């Protein structure tokens, strides 16, 4: 049988990984797929570089539309990124009846509904294992491996840059800015790291996993997105003393009222496996009603790890394109006419627990006032820690009033209620600085 032919749009970091791995392992991949898989055409603005990467047998063009127009091409691999031209090209490839493989999480989290609907109408597949958690086959696990389950929640470290920064902050006691500089110097963070450090990249991925887990449309605009830029070294240290680590988690959870979809720094018990995922590694926990807790770990980015997922999608398409379209794996795990309309909840309706740090005047009655406000709102306390403010190692702390840090871990409470109590606490004259609030997930 003649090889299945793919065309590559974008020969950057991941694209070159796809070319290299497909070349290096072509025999082994063919022995698995039952059919050769060849990239016969590449579109990239830098044609000379792309030709050198792809080798002499491959046609290299500047115009991506020439790839889509080629009737020999069965699969179009989109590795351009972003919402702009990438979206147009993906839609055109679908219109042309091509299967599409993409690593573009931003595109799918924002325009997935339109793209999957078009693919469904045209009877083609849009595969995107590489869009979430790089080389970890988490889309496959969710969409196929755990189909027996009612998924209860997912919590993942799905951005390597921020996990690297948080690991540096913890290991070396660094503040965020210093750790970011380290990450940039070592190539773990880009020159403009906004999408990573503000949680946007993680939210794209969480949005996609949420849709697959619960059969809801992708709704990036409903996700709560909060990055790690405001984290202080002292909170990482206090968390440690309480038996927790701070990770940037992408979380989605099924509740009776709707679906939680949120990205923010979270305290996680240090004994959980996921709390021990260090550096730029990724890990995703999935809780299913039948299987219980499962976890998937690996490299979340990089040329060849991401290429590993792109090529797995090529093999899947090679296998599945002979199945009748109604029985292929649905794009979002559920059949398109069987999606749920469960709403994504506003953050005020999320129920979780909290770490609070209050800089207070070191005088009698302060603790009673603070805990009184919590009690009045029905919020119970899980643990507490009081530390001399000096331990905060902040410059210019020598104030007239003796100060102390009060760290409180709460049990579960609705975020709206927590917000009200924080406002009340902040109004106390003995609370001397903005209250720090970090959410806490037990993941049990």
- Residue selected from 296, 366, 379, 436 as contacting a second copy according to rule CB under 8 A: 296
Check whether 105 is labelled as a binding-site residue: yes
Check whether 15 is labelled as a binding-site residue: yes
Q: At what angle do helices 13-24 and 303-320 cross, to 10 degrees?
A: 60
Binding residues among 116-145 for a second copy as defined by CB under 8 A: 129, 135-137, 140-141, 144-145
Q: Is 312 in the site for a second copy (CB under 8 A)?
A: yes
Instruction: Give the tokens for residue 317.
Output: 């398409």
Report CA 246 to chain centroid distance, whole Å: 16
Check whether 57 is labelled as a binding-site residue: no
- Has 205 been annotated as catalytic? yes
Check whether 11 is labelled as a binding-site residue: yes
- Residue selected from 38, 298, 370, 407 as contacting a second copy according to rule CB under 8 A: 298
Contact between residue 309 and residue 135 where contact means Cβ atoms under 8 Å apart: yes
Burial 318-337 (b: 16+ CB within 10 A, else e): beebeeeeeebbbbbbbeee
Q: How many CB atoms lie within 10 A of CB 384?
A: 15
What is the per-residue DSSP string for 22-57? HHHTHHHHHHHHSS-EEEEEEE-S-HHHHHHHH-TT
Smallest Cα–Cα separation from 64: which of 51, 53, 75, 78?
A: 78
Distance CA 37, CA 372 (A): 67
How many residues bind a second copy, per CB under 8 A?
Answer: 69
Could you tell me which stretch among 74-82, 231-239, 329-337, 389-397 binds a second copy (CB under 8 A)? 329-337
Instruction: Give the tokens for residue 308.
Output: 């590993």
Check whether 258 is labelled as a binding-site residue: no
Least Å from the CB of residue 336 to a second copy: 10
Least Å from the CB of residue 326 to a second copy: 6
Check whether 9 is labelled as a binding-site residue: yes
Q: Is 171 in the site for a second copy (CB under 8 A)?
A: no
In the complex with a second copy, the residue whose CB is nearer, 10 or 134, is 134
In the complex with a second copy, the residue whose CB is nearer, 137 or 199, is 137
Smallest Cα–Cα separation from 351: which of 270, 269, 255?
A: 255
End-to-end CA distance of the chain: 50
Could you tell me which stretch among 192-200, 226-234, 307-315, 377-385 binds a second copy (CB under 8 A)? 307-315
Distance CA 72, CA 4 (A): 9
- Residue selected from 188, 334, 354, 355 as contacting a second copy according to rule CB under 8 A: 334
Active-site pick, 87, 98, 140, 205: 205
Least Å from the CB of residue 91 to a second copy: 25
Distance CA 56, CA 97 (A): 28
Q: Is 167 in the site for a second copy (CB under 8 A)?
A: no
Q: Is 5 in the site for a second copy (CB under 8 A)?
A: no
Print the binding letters for residues 11-30 with a second copy: x by CB under 8 A, - otherwise. ------x---xx-xx--xxx
What is the per-residue DSSP string for 127-188? E-GGGSSTTS-HHHIIIIITTTS-EEEEEEE--HHHHHHHHHHHHH---HHHHHHHHHHTTS
Check whether 10 is labelled as a binding-site residue: yes
In the complex with a second copy, the residue whose CB is nearer, 315 or 389, is 315
What are the residues binding a second copy (CB under 8 A)?
Answer: 17, 21-22, 24-25, 28-35, 129, 135-137, 140-141, 144-150, 215, 273, 276-277, 288-299, 302, 304-305, 307-312, 315-316, 318-324, 326-330, 333-335, 338
Catalytic residue positions, numbered: 205
Q: Which residues are annotated as a binding site?
A: 9-16, 105, 190
């Amino acid at each position: 049988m003649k090889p299945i032919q793919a065309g590559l749009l974008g020969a950057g970091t991941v694209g070159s990984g796809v070319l290299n791995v497909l070349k290096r392992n072509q025999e082994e991949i063919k022995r698995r797929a039952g059919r050769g898989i060849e990239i016969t055409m590449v579109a990239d603005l830098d044609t000379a570089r792309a030709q050198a990467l792809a080798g002499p047998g491959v046609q290299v063009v500047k115009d991506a539309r020439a790839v889509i127009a080629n009737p020999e091409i069965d699969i179009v691999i989109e590795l351009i990124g972003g919402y702009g031209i990438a979206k147009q090209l993906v839609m055109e490839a679908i219109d042309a009846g091509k299967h599409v493989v993409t690593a573009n999480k931003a595109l799918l989290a924002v325009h997935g509904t339109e793209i999957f609907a078009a693919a469904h109408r045209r009877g083609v597949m849009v595969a995107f294992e590489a869009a979430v958690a790089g080389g970890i086959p988490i889309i496959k696990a969710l969409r196929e491996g755990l189909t027996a389950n009612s998924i209860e929640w997912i919590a993942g470290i799905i951005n390597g840059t921020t996990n690297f920064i948080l690991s540096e902050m913890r290991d070396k006691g660094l503040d965020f800015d210093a750790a970011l500089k380290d990450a940039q110097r070592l190539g773990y963070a880009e020159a403009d790291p906004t999408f990573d450090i503000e949680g946007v990249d993680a939210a794209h991925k969480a949005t996609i996993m949420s849709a697959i887990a619960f059969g809801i449309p992708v709704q990036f605009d409903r996700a709560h997105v909060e990055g790690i830029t405001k984290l202080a070294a002292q909170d990482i240290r206090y968390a440690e003393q309480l038996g927790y680590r701070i990770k940037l988690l992408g979380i989605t959870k099924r509740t009776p009222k709707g679906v939680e979809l949120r990205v923010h720094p979270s305290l996680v018990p240090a004994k959980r496996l996921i709390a021990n995922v260090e550096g730029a590694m990724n890990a995703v926990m999935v809780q299913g009603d039948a299987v219980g807790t499962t976890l998937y770990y690996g490299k979340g980015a990089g040329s060849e790890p991401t290429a590993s997922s792109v090529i797995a999608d090529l093999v899947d398409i090679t296998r599945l394109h002979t199945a009748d379209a109604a029985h292929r794996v649905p794009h979002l795990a559920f059949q398109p006419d069987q999606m749920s309309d469960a709403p994504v909840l506003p953050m005020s309706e999320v129920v979780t627990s909290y770490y609070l740090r209050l800089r207070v005047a070191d005088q009698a009655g302060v603790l009673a006032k603070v805990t009184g406000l919590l009690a009045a709102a029905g919020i119970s306390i899980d643990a507490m820690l009081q530390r001399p403010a000096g331990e905060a190692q902040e410059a210019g702390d020598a104030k007239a009033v003796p100060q102390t840090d009060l760290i409180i871990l709460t049990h579960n409470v609705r975020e709206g209620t927590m917000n009200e109590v924080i406002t009340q606490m902040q109004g106390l004259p003995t609370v001397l600085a903005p209250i720090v609030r970090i959410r806490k997930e037990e993941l049990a």
